[in-house]
Amino acid sequence: MKKSITSSLYYVGVNDHQLDMFESQFVIPNGMAYNSYVIIDEKIAVMDSVDRKFGEEWIRNLVDTLGEAQPDYLIVQHMEPDHSANIITFLRKYPNATVVGNARTFQMIEQFFHEPIFNKLIINEGDTLSLGRHELTFVFAPMVHWPEVFVTYDSYDRVLFSADAFGKFGALDVDEPWDDEAARYYFGIVAKYGMQVQSLLKKAAHLDIKMICSLHGPILNENLNYYLNLYNVWSTYQSEIEGVAIFFTSVYGHTKQAAYLLKEKLEANGTPRVLIADLARSDMAECVSNAFRYSKIVFITTTYNTTIFPFMNDFIEHLVERNFQNKKIGFIENGSWMPMAGKVMKDKLAGLKNLTILEPTVRLLSSLDDASKKQLDELVEALSADYRAMRELAQEKESEIDVKALYKIGYGLYVVTSNDGKKDNGLIVNTVTQLTDRPLKVAVSINKLCYSHDVIKKTGLMNVNTLNNDAPFAIFQKYGFCSGKEVDKFKDQQVIRSENGLIVLQQYINSFISLRVDDYVDVGTHGIFICTVTESKNINNVETMTYNYYQANVKPKPNTEKKKGYVCKICGYVYEGDSLPEDYICPICKHGASDFEEIK
């Protein structure tokens, strides 16, 4: 029976409930899907094959869908055997079909099958193939996660055939949430190649995508921005979940006791989410996934044979192999006569990027005592002080002014939040100035073209959230590169509000200030709002992000090698051409031609 996706696109994949471990290392209790698709037009294209064990079932699915019709093309996007094992089987059934792939595809076909392919079409980046109404564009995606990989965009149905990208564990006849198994798949298999995934996402940003058809997992055809955003978060090694993940090993239970006491104290101190996992008894792939997804990680283990317990050693090796980075981390070690687990763990992680070690390293000499409990309390404070501040803010019944919050004002970067009466909005600004201290008055300059300018002028209220040096580029993309007129920047997001009813960011800020507008000065392109401080709070002591720090450390470096044209100073987008139109608008951040500079 035909399984139609659209009027001319069909599913011919299979479910695998025979396999217990994918790639002999990832447990798959709900099986695995090997997806394959058929586009029927004036010409017929089959998208990829399936695992060797299911060749006969796949061919039956093709016959059920095509009847007597003969496919013209087999498009091989990925040569991993679970997607390519039946190429020769297909050609024996349909000998006149042309195999479509790039040069590396055909090199690997020779390596796997040792048989010549007589009818072949070798494609290059950006090549197109017309099937009739359907025009396919081939977009190369090397190392997502093999070197020959490419994805295919069908402009007629607006479908992105994404190879292994956006895949997940689990057969299609099992109903389960996408996120966890997709994250376990991504961080287990693709995480090492975040830069390459970013390159693919940038190419995909220029495509009008209505549906994503991956080689594993369900077809994605609703709320695509949700999935695209998660892949952006994962591939830039940002934290998806604000909270603390605790990973421990324990021999006789004393280290486990410390781990669970830490969990209890973190929860009592307002940490929004606390996860704990015994590495010896938990799925290692799930633990690796959660280490990347949580914002703060604590490693807890015993000294073992002058190094660390084997399961912790394996865990750290998995993280190092996958480019673990951008985390705040803590350590608890145990040892009865020569504790050195803390040093060993730190040494193993030493080469990774942007890991902030929180002090102290808690030391147990066999079991918890008063000294180690005191250290534990200090580690809890280091891990959760900003969470406690947010919880206190949420619980406060009356507005309070913490003057220390104003000490964070400098030539920094800020997210100004407002509300138009129907939805919340956020905007990046870089000009906030304290004017007086009695009364406390602050000036905020906002471009008149920004939607927030008109909202604040109408409502007279705003919150200034001071960004700290932990803020990733995604924050600037979210609040600086799109307009609140068109996008709900806080959709489906749990929020905390100050006394004036406006949002306070829960991540990446060191303070916030609530302001009531008293006066307004028109200064041409911008308006300056003169405001009274009605509430403020100091959140943490991470340095305020300056514009120079953003340019040097946060904004991605544009690839301008061998390119002629202009580069956006805001987001790094490259416009290739001899001259830049005066009315040109950056397609990424929406800034005008004045924010571009010529590539030298």
pLDDT value of residue 352: 95
- Stretch 146-169: mean pLDDT: 97
* Chain position carrying tokens 């399984």: 3
Task: Encode pLDDT of 278-311 as tens digits.
Answer: 999 999 999 999 999 999 999 999 999 989 999 9
CATH architecture of residue range(s) 557-598: Single Sheet (2.20)
Taking a C-beta distance cutoff of 8 angstroms, is the pair 300, 248 a contact? yes
Asked if residue 418 has pLDDT above 70, the reply is yes
Task: Encode pLDDT of 531-545 as tens digits.
Answer: 999 999 999 889 999
- Stretch 423-450: mean pLDDT: 92
Q: What are the tokens at 102?
A: 């790039």
Q: Do domains 9-235 and 557-598 have the same CATH topology?
A: no
Asked if residue 449 has pLDDT above 90, the reply is no
pLDDT value of residue 1: 67
Segments making up each domain of the chain, as ranges: 9-235, 241-395, 403-547, 557-598
Asked if residue 394 has pLDDT above 80, the reply is no
Task: Encode pLDDT of 321-363 as tens digits.
Answer: 999 999 999 999 999 999 999 999 999 999 999 999 999 999 9
Asked if residue 396 has pLDDT above 70, the reply is no
Task: Encode pLDDT of 460-508 as tens digits.
Answer: 999 999 999 999 888 998 898 888 888 899 987 888 999 999 999 998 9
Taking a C-beta distance cutoff of 8 angstroms, is the pair 246, 287 a contact? no
Asked if residue 522 has pLDDT above 80, the reply is yes
Task: Encode pLDDT of 26-49 as tens digits.
Answer: 999 999 999 999 999 999 999 999
Task: Encode pLDDT of 210-261 as tens digits.
Answer: 999 999 999 999 989 889 989 999 999 999 999 999 999 999 999 999 999 9
Q: How far is CA 109 from CA 55, 86, 87, 113, 293, in A?
A: 17, 11, 9, 6, 36
Topology of 9-235 in CATH? Answer: Metallo-beta-lactamase; Chain A (3.60.15)
Taking a C-beta distance cutoff of 8 angstroms, is the pair 23, 31 a contact? no
* Chain position carrying tokens 């992105």: 160
Topology of 403-547 in CATH? Answer: Pnp Oxidase; Chain A (2.30.110)
Q: Does domain 241-395 have CATH number 3.40.50.360?
A: yes
Q: Give the lowest-confidence range in 111-115, 165-169, 532-536, 594-598.
A: 594-598
DSSP assignment string, 151-174: EEEETTTTEEE-TTTT--SB-TTS
Mean pLDDT of the chain: 93
What is the C-alpha to C-alpha distance for residues 164 and 48, in angstroms, rounded to an integer? 11
